Amino acid sequence: MADDEGARRPRGEEKEEDENESCRGIRVQGMQFTYDGQPPLFVDFNLKISPGSRCLLVGANGSGKTTLLKILAGKHMVGGRDVVRVLNGSAFHDTQLVCSGDLAYLGGSWSKTVGSAGEIPLQGDFSAEHMIFGVEGTDPERREKLIEMLDIDLQWRMHKVSDGQRRRVQICMGLLHPYKVLLLDEVTVDLDVVTRMDLLDFFREECEQRGATIVYATHIFDGLETWATHLAYIQDGELRRAEKLSDVSELKRSSNLLSVVESWLRSETKLEKKNPVNTASHVQKTSSGSSPFFSSRHMAYYR
């Protein structure tokens, strides 16, 4: 009996350690998610991201990256409290995660939802200073560092600046609080190459010095081979790969991440083309709305 206990304890402890580790980062277990009137996007989706990692989220347009990041950011209610865990809390239910600044999401355009008009870009005549200094409870030193790194002119009027300049102010505001988990949805797209590289260095520093965890969805892979620690690849809401970047075997044979991801996405298209007859007939059998306007991604769900 005693021996048996002794033999079991280390495994139990190991499991507990693993559990604690994933609780301090991100853990998704058995997640289901469907947009109204659409086929399910995520079915029994599982993902673990360890604290301190910089995880790239890759996949074709429409594969579910933004939706996943929004779910992790607590913007969509999904399942019970145990399904989407971030920093040992429930991303949706524990609003303190976002209110405290521990969980931060940066993505999309700077807009607000106005009734039936939908997303309207922010158009007020505000200065960058007004926007940035309006964020309460921030450390002046961190604020200075961000303003300098993003090369922000505090006199900029937000309705008269370029897209990239507006984006810099948005990023600065989003990073003012020292987050523990940061979710980035293609925010570097408007940035010039110097600002982008400085920002990536800043993120690396945040992970290495403060143990922050970053998930970054992007289609721009320049410079990311040495930046990312992990990679998660989604195809049509299914997690195809989730591993350390150093374990991606294709990267050992290929010179860059771009060509590796390109080959994955190209083989997705080939797979879809492989069984056009099966796919089409299955759609007709399973969907009452078997419209000729169904996109190939929707058809992929029916495979």
**Which residues make up the interface to ligand ATP (CB under 6 A)?**
35, 38, 41, 59, 61-67, 297
Query: Shortest Cβ distance from residue 140 to ligand ATP (Å)?
Result: 35
Query: Shortest Cβ distance from residue 93 to ligand ATP (Å)?
Result: 21
Mapped onto helix, strand or coil, the DSSP state of residue 263 is helix
Select 51 or 59, whichever has its Cβ closest to ligand ATP: 59
Tokens standing for residue 225: 């081979």
Please give the Cα distance from 278 to 253 (Å, whole number): 34
Residue of 197, 202, 250, 247 lying closest to 224 (CA atoms) = 197
Select 174 or 237, whichever has its Cβ closest to ligand ATP: 237
User: Please, where are the H alpha helices in the chain?
Assistant: 2-24, 65-72, 96-99, 128-133, 140-149, 163-175, 193-210, 249-253, 257-274, 276-286, 296-301
Select 34 or 96, whichever has its Cβ closest to ligand ATP: 34
Select 40 or 80, whichever has its Cβ closest to ligand ATP: 40
Query: Shortest Cβ distance from residue 73 to ligand ATP (Å)?
Result: 12
Query: Shortest Cβ distance from residue 178 to ligand ATP (Å)?
Result: 27
Select 150 or 261, whichever has its Cβ closest to ligand ATP: 261
User: Is residue 177 a contact partner of residue 138, using CB atoms and an 8 Å limit?
Assistant: yes
Q: Which phi and psi (to 5°) does residue 105 adopt?
A: -125, 130
Residue type for position 191 = L
Query: Shortest Cβ distance from residue 16 to ligand ATP (Å)?
Result: 34
